[in-house]
Amino acid sequence: MMDDEVEMVTIYVMGKRHRVPAGLTIMKAMEYAGHQFRRGAGCRGGFCGACATIYRTKGSYKLQGALACQKIVEDGMYIAQIPFSPAEKKTYNIEELRPDAGVFLEYYPEIARCLSCNTCTKACPQDIMVMDYVQAALRGDVEEAAKLSFDCIGCGLCAVRCPAEIVPYNIGQLARRLYSRHIVGPTEHVLKRVREIEEGRFDEEIEELKTLDREALQERYETRERRL
């Protein structure tokens, strides 16, 4: 298809009108329009959560959230990137904590304000049952909270939309840490890899990588052995 035959759509980035090819993700459409990402872009594959974006579609009053590297643009879409999300994370020693409801209330007392409105779940681009794991944490069910939040990438959209001003992904992270340290413990393959690192098994390879230029590193990365 020739360039002049490509279907184009109109989007608005921070209020400025742009014509971009249909079928592009928000991130690619913004770059097509001349926007240069200096922050708010990471893996570009939906895994890091850095590109959380708020948008509104044509004719709708609703504000919606998505990852810019995943969401396809729509004609008439209004887009505004989030510079950061509220994420004050408490400092604690995981070894000293008990895996029960009390620890969540101690470090994140705002969790008690949960309205069970499910807004956080609706905002999640990973379709995680956010409200359910917050409620599990309130009940002291650390295992359930950890498992339900396992796929969280910390994009912050749940926190941005929460009317009770809770930061759910902090709750999920604490639940997973408690579950790993105090309930199931580290797995044998993790312990094995730690021993290998401490014994210097990979030192020679790391030193070799340090000597490579950008092109060689990229080739090494692209031709690496992938294990499923």
Using pLDDT thresholds of 50, 70 and 90, give the confidence band for residue 171: very high
Q: Domain-by-domain residue ranges, the chain?
A: 3-81, 94-184, 188-222
In the predicted model, is pLDDT for residue 6 greater than 70?
yes
May I ask the CATH architecture of the domain 94-184? Orthogonal Bundle (1.10)
- Are 3-81 and 94-184 equal in CATH topology? no
Q: Which letter does DSSP use for residue 166 in this model?
A: -
* Predicted structure pTM score: 0.77
The CA distance from 44 to 40, in Å, is: 10
The CA distance from 14 to 152, in Å, is: 27
In the predicted model, is pLDDT for residue 151 greater than 90?
yes
In the predicted model, is pLDDT for residue 152 greater than 50?
yes
90: left (phi over 0), alpha (psi -120 to 50) or beta: beta
Looking at residue 87, what is its pLDDT? 74
Cα 13 to the center of its chain, rounded Å: 22
Q: What residue has token string 């390879």?
A: 205
Using pLDDT thresholds of 50, 70 and 90, give the confidence band for residue 44: confident
Using pLDDT thresholds of 50, 70 and 90, give the confidence band for residue 1: very low
CATH superfamily, with its number, for domain 3-81: Beta-grasp domain (3.10.20.30)
Higher pLDDT, 96 or 40: 96
Using pLDDT thresholds of 50, 70 and 90, give the confidence band for residue 48: confident
Count CA atoms within 13 Å of residue 34 on its CB side.
Answer: 6
